[in-house]
């Protein structure tokens, strides 16, 4: 069975509905992967994930290497068994964490020397070890080790990081042994269209089974992210899956699916849930707002998730005001259900030939966070990654 099969393509956009086939099952695309960075999606059990419609999740090499250690995970049967998740899984290589913890690392062509954000211990992570760790973890799809840059970096720095990413990609391919894992390459090049074209051309020549677009959603203006994502996606093979890393707001998912991108991951739905923000078809709602204090209806009357079927907005408001732990679980259930339901609706709309109309209608009603606020939130989040704790990665 082929790794990726395209069922339908939208005649008005590049959107496509397909199926990603892995040893642990098939995933409908376009697909969104909740982040199980340290072996769990924060506040949720595997049963919760299945209930909200998750078909595939993402774990992180950097975090699982530091604790509990990939060898321990391997001894206990691999990451699927370790966390009781028997469906498809992808592991990131840790490249983004290297980018986020800039003050704790040194990058050379040989690899990355860094200090653990947990205890300050020193580690050396070459591309070969990133592959070894992911083979021990046992995810269905694994990622080549790459170097991400800030969108404000100058072109020479972007070019150097791209060159190093290409060198590392070749070393990852040479190291990779497990035939039951698909190794994806990652296109870099920052915000330079020229470098993105060069990176895509080089990586396509290496014939990876799938390709990711990395180095976006790192604080750049949205119009720039869209432009680079659109142009880069068009350079990648039609017959192979395309994965845009770190993107997950509803408006971004709709826009980037229209570029022919098949896979996404992002911390946003779960992170904002823990801050009391609920995603709805009209935009985000802040459950701490006083207007919800006595609202007997659910926070989203159009939603069929467990949270909205069971609890009033007033109850959720109360939980957040009291800092009850249940608040975070219920909000996370809702937000992931909303995003995964949106992906399913996009898949169906593409199949029915109405994706362009579906996208237009959704965006006509949805009020995204304004650009200035969004960029400030992103800057605050990025700064939080450079702190001593790793608790904010997801």
DSSP labels, 66-120: HTT-HHHHHHTT-HHHHTT--S-EEEE-SHHHHHHTGGGEEEETTEEEEE-TTT-
pLDDT (mean) for 62-66: 95
132 and 50, same structural domain? yes
Distance CA 381, CA 157 (A): 23
257 and 202, same structural domain? yes
384 falls in which pLDDT band (50, 70, 90)?
low
Helix (H, G, I), strand (E, B) or coil at 31: strand
Distance CA 177, CA 174 (A): 8
User: What is the percent of the chain with per-residue pLDDT over 70, rounded to a whole number?
Assistant: 94
Examine residue 277 and state whether it is found in any structural domain, yes or no. yes
Q: Report which DSSP code applies to 275.
A: T
143 and 166, same structural domain? yes
77 and 38, same structural domain? yes
246 and 212, same structural domain? yes
260 and 278, same structural domain? no
284 and 163, same structural domain? no
306 and 237, same structural domain? no
pLDDT (mean) for 348-375: 92
Which residues are annotated as catalytic? 92, 265
Q: What pLDDT score was predicted for residue 76? A: 98
331: containing domain = 273-372
Examine residue 381 and state whether it is found in any structural domain, yes or no. no
In degrees, to the nearest 5, what angle opens at C-alpha 242 toward C-alphas 175 and 139?
45
233 and 189, same structural domain? yes
Give φ, ψ of 105 to 5 degrees: -145, 165
Domains contained in the chain, number: 2
CB atoms within 10 A of CB 295: 16
273 falls in which pLDDT band (50, 70, 90)?
very high
385 falls in which pLDDT band (50, 70, 90)?
low
Distance CA 269, CA 42 (A): 11
Examine residue 198 and state whether it is found in any structural domain, yes or no. yes
234 and 359, same structural domain? no
Provide the mean pLDDT of the chain: 94
CB atoms within 10 A of CB 381: 15
In degrees, to the nearest 5, what angle opens at C-alpha 159 toward C-alphas 157 and 160?
65
Whichever domain contains 173, its CATH number is 3.20.20.105
Tell me the whole-structure pTM to 2 decimals: 0.95
251 and 309, same structural domain? no
Point out the domain boundary residue: 200, 235, 265. 265
Residue 282 has pLDDT above 80, yes or no: yes
């Amino acid at each position: 069975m082929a790794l990726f099969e395209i069922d339908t393509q939208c005649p008005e956009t590049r959107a496509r509905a397909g199926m990603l086939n892995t040893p642990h099952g098939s995933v409908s695309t376009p697909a969104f992967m909740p982040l199980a960075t340290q072996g769990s999606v924060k506040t949720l059990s595997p049963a919760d994930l299945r209930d909200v419609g998750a078909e595939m999740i993402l774990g992180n090499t950097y975090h699982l290497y530091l604790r509990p250690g990939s060898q321990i995970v391997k001894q206990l049967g691999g990451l699927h068994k370790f966390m009781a998740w028997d469906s498809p899984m992808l592991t990131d290589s840790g490249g983004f964490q290297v980018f986020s913890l800039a003050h704790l690392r040194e990058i050379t062509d040989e690899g990355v020397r860094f200090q653990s954000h947990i205890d300050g211990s020193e580690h050396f992570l070459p591309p070969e070890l990133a592959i070894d760790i992911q083979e021990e973890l046992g995810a269905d799809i694994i990622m080549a080790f790459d170097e991400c840059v800030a969108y404000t970096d100058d072109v020479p720095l972007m070019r150097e990081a791209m060159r190093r990413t290409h060198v590392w990609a070749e070393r990852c391919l040479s190291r990779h042994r497990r035939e039951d894992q698909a190794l994806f390459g990652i296109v870099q090049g920052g915000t330079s269209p020229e470098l993105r074209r060069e990176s895509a051309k080089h990586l396509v020549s290496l014939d990876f089974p799938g390709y990711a677009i990395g180095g976006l959603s790192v604080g750049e203006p949205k119009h720039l992210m869209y432009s680079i994502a659109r142009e880069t996606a068009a350079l990648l093979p039609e017959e192979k899956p395309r994965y845009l890393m770190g993107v997950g707001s509803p408006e971004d998912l709709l826009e980037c699916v229209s570029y022919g991108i098949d896979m996404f991951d992002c911390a946003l739905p779960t992170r904002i849930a823990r801050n009391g923000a609920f995603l709805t078809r009209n935009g985000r709602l802040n459950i701490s707002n006083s207007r919800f204090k006595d609202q007997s209806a659910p926070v989203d009357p159009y939603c069929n998730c467990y949270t909205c079927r069971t609890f009033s907005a007033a109850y959720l408001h109360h939980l957040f005001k009291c800092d009850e732990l249940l608040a975070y679980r219920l909000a996370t259930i809702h937000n992931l259900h909303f995003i995964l339901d949106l992906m399913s609706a996009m898949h169906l709309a593409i199949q029915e030939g109405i994706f362009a109309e579906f996208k237009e209608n959704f965006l006509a009603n949805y009020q995204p966070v304004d650009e200035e606020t969004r960029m400030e939130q992103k800057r605050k989040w990025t700064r939080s990654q450079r702190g001593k704790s790793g608790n904010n990665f997801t």
